[in-house]
Homo-oligomer: A and B are copies of this chain.
Amino acid sequence: MAKIHEVAQAAGVSISTVSYALSGKRSISPDTRRRIEEAARELDYRPNAGARMLAGRRTQIFALTEPFRADTHAPAHMAFVLATSIAARRYEYDILLLTEEEASAGMRRVASSGLADGVLVLDVAPDDERVDLARRIALPTVFIGVPDDHEGLVCVDLDFEAAAALAVDRLADLGHRSIGFVGHPPTAYEKSNFPPRVRRGLEARAAERGLDCTTVLPESDGPRRAPVREAVRDLVEAGATALVLHCDDTSHAVALDELATLGRRVPEEVSVVSVGATFDTSAFHPPIDSVPLVPSASCELAVELAMRMVDGGEVPAAVHLIAPEYRAHGSTAPPGGASD
């Protein structure tokens, strides 16, 4: 743990010169800068974190609150944590984990001890307790997800309504007139904030385009996922020529498996699109079209907004919706037609 003093000595300059050379906050002659950088490298110098926090007024840390609820979908969650961490590192920021009940107490603690420069809120519930807290603490806070009451908050999220609409448009454009929607289990529509948005967006656009749309929210159960299989069978037999899926990965696989069992080819006989649920639908058999969740997009924007707030910039309290993107993998085609 070399100190700035040693670097200064090695480079034959004062410590303030070292500080300025390394931070770039004042101009330093090229020659001096080179000597300093060399000395710093040689000594593997990094500013002491505590001293830096105290003297500068940056901690270079964002707190990430994530209440690991019982219904938390681990893989998706991990993807978001990871994406946030990576996005933060781009700005030389580290992520401090605030879990569980600690989510609220931790936010308070971190705010009043000045441990973090900002807070990123993950796994947002419709009636999230962290909403009130965010309004009270004087720390830049960004929600990744949209709580019901989001007045005065900065939120970032995929535009789930538009995502669903995009899928509907694709199918409508191809000529489908009757589609089926396989959603999450019913409870998900109370505990999380986005499933209802997908459903709403889907049904609204389907109505607009004059499509017949049947929604099924199969219960989750054992390894057989009988309810999902049943849902797929019912929808297809009732005449749906396309399926929109908004459920977990296993249910996706099961739905495809059931279509295969029924002898319905994808996309020749049934088109399939996944909306706002999975990350990589190209690994399914067959690969399926999707309007995917893109954790990096949300997390990068969230971090960028947080950075702007830390830097004293103006960030309007608003819901920042990320435009969805359609990724074709060959699982849609005109009804009764050929692959597209």
Contact = CB atoms under 8 A, between A and B. Distances in A.
Contacts of A94: 96-97, 115
Interface stretch (A162-170, A200-208, A250-258): A250-258
Interface stretch (A71-79, A126-134, A150-158, A209-217): A71-79
A319 interface: no
A95 interface: yes
A1 B96 contact: no
A222 B100 CA distance: 33
A99 B115 contact: no
- For A49, A61, A109, the residue with the greatest tally of chain B CB atoms inside 10 Å of its CB is A49
Interface string A40-53: 00001111111111
Contact of A115 (B49, B68, B78, B138): B49
A223 B222 contact: no
Interface string A207-233: 000000000000000111100000000
Contact of A89 (B46, B81, B102): B102
Contact of A223 (B68, B138, B225): B225
Given A96-B94, A222-B285, A223-B257, A112 B59 contact: no
Given A49-B115, A115-B94, A254 B223 contact: yes
Contact of A50 (B46, B51, B81): B51
Nearest to A113: B46
Contacts of A64: 97
Contacts of A285: 222
- Residue of A61, A102, A112 with most partner-chain B CB within 10 A: A112
Contacts of A223: 225, 250, 253-254, 257
Interface in A96-143: 96-97, 99-100, 102, 109, 111-115, 138
A5 B52 CA distance: 21
Interface in A286-338: none
Interface in A28-46: 44-46
Interface string A182-203: 0000000000000000000000
A82 interface: yes
A241 interface: no
Given A49-B115, A94-B97, A224-B257, 13 more contacts: A1-B114, A44-B112, A47-B113, A50-B51, A53-B54, A64-B97, A74-B78, A82-B100, A85-B99, A94-B115, A95-B97, A222-B257, A250-B250
Closest A-B pairs by Cβ, 3 of them: A50-B53, A223-B253, A50-B54
